[in-house]
Amino acid sequence: MALLVASQLARAGIVPKIGADAPNFNLPDQNGKIYTLADFYGQWLVLYFYPKDDTPNCTEQACNFRDDLNQLTELGVQVAGVSVDDSKSHADFAKKYALPFPLLADKNAEVTTRYGVLRNLGLFKLARRYTFLIDPQAKISKVYDKVETSHHSKEIIEDLNKLLAAGKA
């Protein structure tokens, strides 16, 4: 059975490398507002992909971003989450946990595919848990492929402070 499931796991697209242009997107958030990459130009962007609204690890990750949002904002960072859930699911999730940042609905998994983080399980698709730190010129500055939800937002704050101190921001 495990081999069957493993053989059905397919990742479409290639994960962008550090220094590459961030793939564009055009997605609605939980309120129906459309966001594109250009909306974040001139600012740092934490674009995090997650599997499913209102599940334990996804909730922990989102709530930590919420709780650390003031620190992130002080560093000039915007946060946006992406999953293949629809805007209604995102709205319920955002309301339940008072999430003050956009949750982008990639229902057709096009953006998830462009970022190389699609997990195709045959009958359903999920985003793999990845985060991209995108610089103000829309270049990939850091890729997080092993995300520990309990301290991920703190890790990003530390990394961005290092980038800023090194004069790379």
Residue 139, token pair as written in the block? 């270049």
What is the rounded CA–CA span in Å between residue 71 and residue 122? Answer: 40
Q: Please give the positions annotated as active site.
A: 58
Contact 76, 157 (CB under 8 A): no
Asked whether the beta carbons of 112 and 106 are under 8 A apart, the reply is: yes
CB atoms closer than 10 angstroms to residue 167: 6
Q: What does the block give as tokens for 30?
A: 């939980």
| DSSP characters over 10-36 | B--S-PPPTTSBPPP-EEE-TTS-EEE
